[in-house]
Amino acid sequence: MISIRTEREIDLMRQANAIVASAHKLAAKMIVPGTCTRDLDKAVEALIREAGGKPAFKGYRGYPASTCVSIDNEVVHGIPGKRILCAGEIVSIDIGVCYKGYYGDAAVTHPCGAVDALRMRLLEVTDLALSRAIRAAKVGNCLNDIGTVIEKTSRDAGFDVVRNYVGHGIGVEMHEDPQIFNFDAGEPGPRLEEGMALAIEPMVNAGTGDVRVKRDKWTVVTRDGKPSAHFEHTVVVRKDGGEILSWCDAPAWGVREA
Ligand code: MF3
Ligand code: CO
């Protein structure tokens, strides 16, 4: 069952996502060569707690950190630790917050220093796939319109989408119905209604979409070792497209047109 949120609930989700956004603003400044991923995680956690929120990922199914930091060939769920960020890498940071019982969730992939043209294009295409998907999150469309536009945008650029991980409904839990595939599932799925809250999160690989999980039981990596990008926003379905709750003015999501 897909919940329809009241405007009061959406306002609480807006507050949770405002904390997510300010954490992303801080993270954006720290994603530079020489930063230790554990320091990044600790700084984000402190900001979330000072704002009165709870890091939603910490303890979720035993996950040990407040953020996921996934570098280059890592797709999602990278655990912050001793690793130092290097110039030329692309660094995805995923942040979830619970505030007054409501959730916010957003991710973005940053270039660390200067990166090559392939990586830059991968970021642009994944971000573009997300913004097109958000526009498709409108009343009257079907759920599958979201995955279809993500897959088409990625494939047209010569990239591939990850099929093993999905976006999700969000609200009073981090993960609610429905699952949001990043590809055309072949059937329309439920009709989108005003007030549905969705975390849309394309994961796009430069090579094939095949992934595996590392021995740490969390870090998802590409099978072919090529880079991967991940962008995510929490949105509410509206008549003219998704309203982004996790909006952030840090250099991050370009929300590129068309
Ligand atoms: N944004 C991710 C998701 O929606 C992050 C979950 S990480 C976990 O699934 F550690 F909490 F699992
Ligand atoms: Co998510």
pLDDT at residue 256, as a whole number:
43
* 112 Cα to the center of ligand 2, angstroms: 22
Q: How confident is the model at residue 249 (pLDDT cuts 50, 70, 90)?
A: confident
User: Which atom from ligand 1 is nearest to the alpha carbon of 175?
Assistant: 4
Choose the residue to mutate in 60, 98, 203 for probing ligand 1, maximizing ligand atoms within 8 Å of C-beta: 60
Q: For all residues of the chain together, what is the average pLDDT?
A: 96
Say if residue 240's pLDDT is above 60: yes
List the structure tokens of 18.
């405002």
For 159-205, the pLDDT digits (tens) are: 999 999 999 999 999 999 999 999 999 999 999 999 999 999 999 99
Q: Nearest to residue 216, comparing CAs of 93, 74, 58, 78?
A: 78
Angle 144-235-17 (CA atoms, 0-180°, nearest 5)? 150
Task: Provide the token pair at 45.
Answer: 């956690």
Looking at residue 78, its pLDDT comes to: 98
Atom of ligand 1 nearest to the CA of 57: 11
Q: Among the atoms of ligand 1, which is closest to the Cα of residue 199?
A: 4
Question: Is the Cβ atom of 68 under 6 angstroms away from ligand 1?
Answer: yes
- The model's pLDDT over 84-142, given as tens digits with 9 standing for 90+, comes to 999 999 999 999 999 999 999 999 999 999 999 999 999 999 999 999 999 999 999 99
Residues 194 and 144: their CA atoms lie apart, in Å, by 16
* Strands 160-161 vs 203-205: parallel, antiparallel or unpaired: antiparallel
Dump the DSSP string for 163-178: SS--EEE-SSSSSEEE
Nearest CA to ligand 1 atom 8: 57
- Ligand 2 centroid to Cα of residue 201, in Å, is 6
Ligand 1: which atom is nearest the Cα of residue 168?
4
Residue nearest to atom 2 of ligand 1 (CA): 94
Whether 159 is in the pocket of ligand 1, judged by its Cβ within 6 Å, is: no
CB 40 within 8 A of CB 51: no
Q: Rounded to the nearest whole angstrom, what is the distance from the C-alpha of residue 181 to the centroid of ligand 1?
A: 15
Distance 96 CA to ligand 1 centre (A): 7
Q: Percent of the chain scored above 90 by pLDDT? A: 96
For ligand 2, the distance from its centroid to the CA atom of residue 60, given in whole angstroms, is 12
